Amino acid sequence: MSAMHKPKPHTVTSAIEEQGRARLMLRMPQHRQAFAGVSSDRFLDLCEAYELACNALGHWSKSTCAEKG
């Protein structure tokens, strides 16, 4: 594996990852306990991506509403 494709070491969970995890736990309450215990890099990347997507969707929906009004 080249240095460019090496996974980054994940030692500390960032605030955005935790916010994404919290959103997922609210969205899927049946999986809350499982989500709370996962700390793999892939899952934390998913949490981060979910939070970023939710933020983008919120921003775009507000700007679309402002254009219509």
Backbone φ and ψ of 52, nearest 5°? -65, -40
**Residue 13 belongs to a domain:** no
Beta-carbon count within 10 A of 46 CB: 16
Query: What's the mean pLDDT when you consider all of the chain?
Result: 85
Domains held by the chain: number = 1
**By residue range, what is the domain housing residue 59?**
18-68
**Residue 1 belongs to a domain:** no
**Residue 24 belongs to a domain:** yes
CA distance 15 to 42: 16
**Residue 4 belongs to a domain:** no
pTM over 0.95: no
CA distance 48 to 30: 20
Q: Over the stretch 15-54, which tens digit does the pLDDT of each residue have?
A: 999 999 999 999 999 999 999 999 999 999 999 999 999 9
Instruction: With CA atoms as reference, report the closest residue to 7 among 40, 36, 35, 39.
Output: 40
